[in-house]
Structure 1
Amino acid sequence: MKKDLVIIGGGAAGLSAAVEAKKQGIRDILVLERSPYLGGILRQCIHNGFGVHKYKEDLTGVEFAYRISSEALNADIECLTNTFALNISPQKVISAIHPEKGLFEIQAKAIILAMGCRERSRGALMIPGKRIAGIITAGTAQHYLNIDGYLPGKNIVILGSGDIGLIMARQFVMEGARVEHVVEIMPYSGGLARNISQCLEDFDIPISYNSTIVDIQGKGRVEQVTIAKVDENRCPIPGTEFELPCDTLLISAGLIPENELTRAAGIELSETTKGAVVDDNLMSSLEGVFSCGNVLHVHDLVDFVSMEGTKAGRNAARYLKMGAVENKAVSVKDGFGVNGVVPQKILFDGDDEVEFMFRPKNKYKNCKICIDVDGNCIKEMKKMVVTPGEMCSFRVERTLLNQAEQDITVRLEV
């Protein structure tokens, strides 16, 4: 099978990319989605807060998924569900498997990676204690409750303050369960400030910062957990332990981009974002392969995931029409307080603006975001507060960046 453009992932990023590529005149498009339905994780998100930027409406995740899926289907974009992409070769040959087609290959002229991300599990966090029932990730609990109609616990402790966990804390209370405690190892929340307010404070759910779980006890199922304070190295402090009865431990400790395919293709990955290293066209180190959404870097809002997918679709269409841009590129580096700026390379191509996105390493107040070109600040933006739970985004005129001879640095000044 041969296709002009193959998009791996049928969530917000992948479908937005497909719709935009079709608008740009690309007809031979195939979307591969491993689940039975399009829409990705949004299908299990019954809370609102989606679509404010993209659709100018406050939608639930389900409504957002329906809209973007309908856009793709109404545009007659070929979407193959229940299809698992197994491998991508450096020649852009995709190996995939389907229940009816079996194992098959697709030769693509261009590929957009939009596989999304997965949750950190108990194993990734190395939590000690018994391996018993009742230990699940927040996303799994969300699926149990919103898709299967099954309440996975009645007395819950949540480890980590990621957005999914905060939202589930509120929903558990509304469903009649009790959320005993939220435990966060950092001195600040990993989620949006609005979710701390609306999901914890409004429901009187306690949260302990600089804390972690050091033991899990129970016979067959979780019966209680032991919580302890941690020092500046995130190591438990002896003598600070206390026990808390519960029947469920919910893990909400961050997301990891699904980049196994990216790595297998030999594409350069960032140690910080865990996603592909891309230029400002979102093209990776493998020509013709683009990356967008949560597989590139974990976003805070689905609207921005969708917008980045649109950008990837537009740039992939341009690549299919014109080929790769033969132009000088300069590297972008993380400066003080910056954790994983995207893009990591800037092309000297055009006179438009370049959008930079990153998460701060810590919580900073009354600071500036500064752009240094060869060591000299060429633009700055004041911020009252920045936190790791929210993405920082800003635009810079490309003509200012084109002055760089060595590198560009994005940094915070506090």
Structure 2
Amino acid sequence: MRCHGNPLSRRGFLAAGALGGLGLSLPELLMHRAMAEQKHYDFIKAKAKSVIHVFLPGGIAQQETFDPKPYSPLEYRGEFRTIKTNTGEQFCETIPELAKRADKFSVIRSMTHGEAAHERGTHNMFTGYKPSPALSYPSFGAVVSHEYGPRNNLPPYVCIPNVPNEFAGTGYLPSSYGGFALGSDPANSNFKVRDLDLAGGVDEQRFLRRKAALDVVNRKFVEATPADNVAAMNTFYQRAYDLIDTPKAKLAFDIEKEDAKTRDRYGRNQAGQRLLMARRLVESGVRLVTLTYGSWDMHTGLTAAFKRSMPALDVGLSALLDDLSERGMLDETLVMVTSEFGRTPKINPDAGRDHWPKVFSVMLAGGGIKGGIIHGSSDSTAAEPEDNPVSHADLAATMYRLMGIVSDKELMAPGDRPIEIVDGGKLIEPLMV
């Protein structure tokens, strides 16, 4: 399986065919196409050096977060009241700290897709594609890893605390582009990242001898077996060795190096410490961090569940925005808070809300995103998009553009099939700086 960019897309050849009617030869067509492609790629300048993708599994309710409906009947609006933001908008009272910082981020209130099953909705929000029985698509992190590779000997794609689901993987790309999982929660008192330290009894000299011997064996093996999966594994081991052999890179994972006040500021809990770890990693050079927090599949007892889960996330996200801003990192770090779908407009008989992919909310901050914008809207009961619907492909295309990646660039899938990174997504231009 070959996996590389294909600058001559199918769309490009269709355009070239039209030019052929003007009497241009094939070499001239290719030259014109190459020049156009070069201009296209030169134009894409990255606004974001890194992405922190905060995924809230289960499907968080839009009504109890960024899109309250205070004038709807009680059975639609729920038990919570609203709170005014520092930009004059209304959020749910569950996120008072974020409401004070609404000028630092934007909200899409018109996200929409048609997948009401957890697995299928999650696939959409991690790949930008609808699920297909014919092909496994790569996640955002895998694509970013493929396009850019490591920086400062750190993995380009890291998952906190673990790879969250099967759709956060490499899809049709080689396994070497997969996410590096911490394997432990940064909130744990005994937190330690697996696989970063040498095995017991192995000192630095012994490690270097083993590495040199493995390099010789791998070189011979790769030369004799030119298969992509062999090369991918070789790349995987090389990156692992680079990480273990680079003290500064390893230091990025040591959350104990943060001062106590900073850790307290984020919150000594799962949400806070995972978000703090994400900041440490992007500051050190990781290109895309995916982290999860909570379980938002609240079919029953939604009010009590929000009171348990949301305060830590509200404080942690607010601390992240402040911290990135104070360090001069917010403009070059895209923070993206998503979930697989939203919740039903009406409270069910069990005092919860059920799956609802027709409309939900996403939060975006930094990395080329304007602050203080509400993009799109839902109708009076948060049942349908009222205007400016945004698809998962639109969100993916926008994220890639901010990272400096051409979203309609083609990668090679099994069978030498050219597959666009995103198929047809439109940029959410009103949100982009």
Structure with more contact order per residue of length (Cα contacts < 8 Å, sep ≥ 6): 2
Greater percentage in helix: 2
More strand by share: 1
TM-score band, normalised by shorter chain: under 0.3
Normalised by the size of structure 2, how large is the TM-score?
0.20
